[in-house]
Amino acid sequence: MATAAAGALGLLWGWLWSERFWLPQNVSWADLEGPGDGYGYPRARHILSVFPLAAGVFSVRLLFERFIAKPCALHVGIQDSGPYQPQPNAILEKVFISITKYPDEKRLEGLSKQLDWDVRKIQCWFRHRRNQDKPPTLTKFCESMWRFTFYLCIFCYGIRFLWSSPWFWDTRQCWHSYPYQPLTSGLYYYYIMELAFYWSLMFSQFTDIKRKDFLIMFVHHLATIGLITFSYINNMVRVGTLVMCLHDASDFLLEAAKLANYAKYQRLCDTLFVIFSAVFMVTRLGIYPFWILNTTLFESWEIIGPYPSWWLFNGLLLILQVLHVIWSYLIARIAFKALIRGKVSKDDRSDVESSSEEDDVTTNTKSSCGSSSSNGASWVNGHMGGSCWVEE
């Protein structure tokens, strides 16, 4: 029994690391065991170093939010207080938990007669009760400031690193001598830091306040981690750095727009969001297909030829391009509404509802549109995936 299980496990392991799948013809894993130059060749075991680093990144985030982001939030006038606590009421709480969080007019009238409360008072109770389950603006500001700082720093590092890399200027260099392309220290740290950051986001999802897009974000981070890990093990790290830097170019702009929104600098928020929209569409609909996909599909075919993992890698990149088109449409719709209304739509994943009756009605009547906008912004935030490549 144990022998059969060990045999099955060995067969599965051999299939998982099949050289016929991962590597071009006439190349074996043994060929990549040599030291090469710098850090040698990428190996799957290098990925293990990501986990303690991700824990360190998560710890740095906690310190950053506590000692840097929070004082900045208080300085711009964001209050360190939670949402208003509604008056305890067992009947309304039961309706809220078991039936609906958004009672219709008929139910409101019934509750009004049952409790001898004014309808407006009941509406306010439900509004405050919904806000009670949402993270305060201070928390959202701190989270966005951390992401803004990381995205900006990693983008600047990526540009600095790629500026001196030959494949940044000639993408055919991504495939010359492939897969015998040894790592440099700069390339290794760039890849590992990106991967550690997304693992830290995976960890923090289970400790942060839950949001509506929890599942979307989870899938996004998982897809991003999978794509970065796949390209590392397959030693497609040169083109991988181009993909990562391209996506980082717009991420920090969206987080900056969120920070301006939370601080109630509406004009700055609108301006940053329009800039973000322009950069997103130029990079994802222009540079990505005509620069990245051109080299992964055509230049690589010419220089190294296709093999099984090549097909998978390009298939994932093409799926990503489809997602870029979808997200660009969602972002363009938000930007267009911003230009028409003079205000960017709210991120309805967690924003606190307005206390006025008019705002409450507006929120309800626009919930479906707001949801689409939120998901579009959320999805933008990632790197590669149908995260969904997200919070943005």
Residues 229 and 316 in one domain: yes
- Say how far apart CA 171 and CA 249 lie, in whole Å: 19
In a domain, 149, yes or no: yes
In a domain, 97, yes or no: yes
pLDDT tens, residue order, the chain (392 aa): 667 666 666 666 666 788 888 889 888 888 887 655 556 888 888 888 899 999 999 999 999 999 999 999 999 999 877 666 777 888 888 888 888 888 888 888 888 888 888 888 888 888 887 877 677 889 889 999 999 999 999 999 999 999 999 999 999 999 999 999 988 889 999 999 999 999 999 888 887 766 666 777 788 788 889 899 999 988 999 999 999 999 999 999 999 999 999 999 988 998 999 899 999 999 999 999 999 999 999 999 999 999 999 999 999 899 889 889 988 998 888 878 777 776 565 554 444 444 443 344 333 333 333 333 333 333 333 333 333 333 33
Residues 116 and 182 in one domain: no
- Say how far apart CA 100 and CA 248 lie, in whole Å: 40
Residues 242 and 140 in one domain: yes
In a domain, 49, yes or no: yes
In a domain, 167, yes or no: yes
Residues 242 and 257 in one domain: yes
In a domain, 278, yes or no: yes
- The pair of structure tokens assigned to 109 is 């009238």
Residues 330 and 317 in one domain: yes
235 phi, psi to nearest 5 deg = 60, 30
Residue 59, Cβ neighbours under 10 Å: how many?
Answer: 11
Domain total of the chain: 2
**The domain boundary residue, chosen from 341, 363, 384:** 341
In order, the DSSP letters of 252-318 are HHHHHHHHHHHTT-HHHHHHHHHHHHHHHHHIIIIIIIIIIHIIIIIIHHHHT---HHHHHHHHHHH
In a domain, 100, yes or no: yes
**The domain boundary residue, chosen from 297, 323, 341:** 341
In a domain, 376, yes or no: no
In a domain, 293, yes or no: yes
Parent domain of 319: 39-75+135-341
Name the pTM for this structure: 0.78
Residues 121 and 221 in one domain: no
Given a contact cutoff of 8 angstroms between Cβ atoms, the answer to whether 369 and 379 are in contact is: no
